[in-house]
Chain A
Amino acid sequence: MRATVTAPATTQAVHTGPSLTRVTVALGGGAILLMTAMVVAVAIGSVGVGIGDTVAILGHRLLGLPLASSVAPGVESIIFDVRLPRVLTAMLVGGGLGLAGTVFQALLRNPMADPYIIGTAAGASLGAIAGLMAPILLPALAIGLGSSWLGLGLVQVLAFTGGLGTVLLVYAVSRANGRVPVVTLLLTGYAVSSVLAAGVALLMFFSGQHLGAIFGWLMGSLAAARWTNLAFAAPLLVVSAALLVVRWRGLNLLLLGDGPAANLGLDVEREKLVLTMLATLATSTVVAISGTIGFVGLVVPHVLRLAIGPDHRLLLPASVLYGAALLAVADLGARVAGGIPVGIVTALIGAPFFIWLLRRSRLVRPVVTQ
């Protein structure tokens, strides 16, 4: 012990972490909600399957439990080959968006931030739409492009690289004297997004019969969910989420500002870069398999901050669980409503709910004061 520190005198410990109640609500509640949402979302559809049979099929295929003979063989295929990948995709997408939204709101110290804010959405959209229109843009390549790469179509690959590439560009442009001020990052992201959005509009103007497909993609949809897409997205999302969740201390410190965070031992510029890239990796992965689903990444962090407080130790894992549950339910709504894009459901129900919350609680807080 160093000379400056005298023996502890009378002080007892002060609890600095989240309360047990908050931990229970955040993680226990989230996990239970998510499992329930998953089973219900898999059970409900054009062919009704009982909850009991659904659980039995999931237990059989996922855990190797014996399956009761009462379950019709066709039902097993509907559950496992069609609905389960779709529900799992919804969960991955929702979890990824919730987490990335939480990270960007803290990193940019901006309550308006969502996963798309610094250019991911614009870049991914331009990539995806270029992919959708590739057959008419480059007729000679149309035959070759029909094939897939690692089980992914051209649209997914271009959306993924478009989102990731745009943020890399925005980050590089924002850098000056070895620093990336968050305000510059925000404004550069906005400017670059505007340019790319013009490109998107131009392609849509000349899109002809592809307009419907483009529009569906922009609204965000999970109709194309397949096990092959999951095989690409799940590892990327699980890894980026795990690496983000353990960086809770860095995010908490960044809320204090760059200088104070540095005084508390944080390598600020490195941390900002790592957080931006991990959150962008998660977002680009999500966008590649689902399009730009709005509102989840904005609302989930705010609602959770109200419910369990702003400590990222809990906020990060909770935003994964609740984001995942929310989108599983929203996609169920989209399917039940006749297969509309899920982005319509999240905006149509999520936005009014958010407004109600704003008015009722006055508690939707800015991320920092002053």
Chain B
Amino acid sequence: MTVAVGSEVLTEVEGVAFAYPMPDGGRREVLRSVDLTLARGDLVALVGTNGSGKTTLLRLLTGVLKPDAGVVRFEGRSLADWRRLDLARRVAVLPQQLDLPVGFRVAELVGMGRAPHARRLFASTEADERAVARALADAGALELADRFAEELSGGERQRLLVAMALAQEPDLLLLDEPTLHLDLAHQVALLAAIRRLRDQRGLTVLAVLHDLNLAAAFAPRVAILDGGRIVADGPPAEILTRDLVRRVFGVQVDEARTADGRRHLALREV
């Protein structure tokens, strides 16, 4: 089943500025004025240099950080007006780093993804257990259900984290470098699974990625964050150019063509 990708706006970032307070009393400005709109079913790769504010932008989208200026809306309503718990039922995050508690089985951890939906004081509901099973299946982690989290390999661990986020049954999934520590096969498998969820269920996805070619192969839309603003936002074929890479990353690349005719950015020998 394919859900038509409409133009219904799910979340929008408007003129958002953010600076981290520093120990010396000053502020480190990260975002100056960011505008980004995600329609329901959008699949967007967020790209930028280290320290350009990608993770900060994700944190602003979850409401964990509050913008200094501008507004972040979810379904038309400013995040300031959302209860944390209500937002957690709609927005899930795959964080860049997560300490997994020791001694829990994968199914129990994925069950924690149901926390925002909890209805009973001690028991979980049948809906919870079904959602966990489906999240495990969607993340390709069903066979991991009875394993202990601390015994998982890097790739298995990442599938567990994806399953935890999917168990929240979110409308918006925010992925912070989901392919970190994964080999090529696992990178492709993970992104293909995410893409399938978007195609089949209209899940909206914003993923921070570093590999520009991977971003181009995965997402129909790429947004580039640089100097505290979104400097380019569109189909990868149009925006991921030599010039942009030189301007944003300061790196010389060559443009090549893939077998299926897409543009490929090739690094020169370093």
- Residues on A facing B (Cβ under 8 Å): 2-6, 8-17, 109, 177, 246, 248-249, 252-253, 255-257, 259-260, 262-267, 305, 309-311, 313, 365-370
Complex interface: stretch among B46-54, B85-93, B230-238: B85-93
Chain A residue at minimal CB-CB distance from B116: A265
Instruction: Identify which of B99, B124, B129, B169 contacts A257 (C-beta below 8 A).
Output: B99
CB distance from A191 to the nearest CB of B (A): 19
- Residues on B facing A (Cβ under 8 Å): 1, 3, 21, 40, 59, 62, 64, 84-85, 87-89, 91-93, 95, 98-104, 107-108, 110-116, 118, 121-124, 126, 128-130, 132-134, 136-137, 145, 149-150, 168-171, 200-204
B88 touches A265 (CB 8 A): yes
A248 to B111, CA, bound (A): 13
B169 touches A5 (CB 8 A): yes
Instruction: Identify which of B92, B126, B149, B201 contacts A13 (C-beta below 8 A).
Output: B126
A11 touches B101 (CB 8 A): no
A305 to B84, CA, bound (A): 30
Chain A residues whose C-beta falls within 8 Å of the C-beta of B62 in the assembled complex:
262-263
CB distance from B18 to the nearest CB of A (A): 14
Nearest 8 interchain pairs by C-beta: A16-B111, A265-B88, A13-B129, A265-B116, A255-B101, A310-B103, A265-B85, A14-B133
A4-B169, A310-B103, A367-B102 known; 20 new pairs, CB 8 Å cut-off, are A3-B40, A4-B3, A9-B134, A10-B137, A11-B133, A11-B134, A12-B130, A13-B133, A16-B110, A16-B111, A16-B129, A256-B99, A262-B62, A263-B88, A264-B116, A265-B115, A310-B102, A311-B108, A367-B101, A368-B101
B98 touches A257 (CB 8 A): yes
Chain B residues whose C-beta falls within 8 Å of the C-beta of A249 in the assembled complex:
115, 118
B136 touches A14 (CB 8 A): yes
Q: Is the interface of B mostly helix, strand, loop or mixed?
A: mixed
CB distance from B210 to the nearest CB of A (A): 20
Chain A residues whose C-beta falls within 8 Å of the C-beta of B99 in the assembled complex:
109, 255-257, 368-370
A10 to B88, CA, bound (A): 26
B98 touches A12 (CB 8 A): no
Chain A residue at minimal CB-CB distance from B198: A4
Chain A residue at minimal CB-CB distance from B142: A14
Residue in B102, B110, B132, B169 whose Cβ sees the most chain A Cβ within 10 Å: B102
Instruction: Identify which of B1, B64, B100, B114 contacts A369 (C-beta below 8 A).
Output: B100
Chain B residues whose C-beta falls within 8 Å of the C-beta of A266 in the assembled complex:
84, 115
Chain B residue at minimal CB-CB distance from A14: B133
A305 touches B103 (CB 8 A): yes
Q: A16-B114, A264-B168 are in contact. Are A365 and B201 (CB under 8 A)?
A: no
A16 touches B150 (CB 8 A): no
Chain A residues whose C-beta falls within 8 Å of the C-beta of B171 in the assembled complex:
2, 4
Q: A15-B129, A263-B62, A263-B64 are in contact. Are A4 and B21 (CB under 8 A)?
A: no
Q: A3-B202, A16-B114, A17-B124 are in contact. Are A177 and B21 (CB under 8 A)?
A: yes
CB distance from B104 to the nearest CB of A (A): 6
CB distance from A312 to the nearest CB of B (A): 10
A17 to B121, CA, bound (A): 13
B112 touches A253 (CB 8 A): yes
Residue in A3, A9, A266 whose Cβ sees the most chain B Cβ within 10 Å: A3
Chain B residues whose C-beta falls within 8 Å of the C-beta of A5 in the assembled complex:
169, 201
Chain A residues whose C-beta falls within 8 Å of the C-beta of B85 in the assembled complex:
265
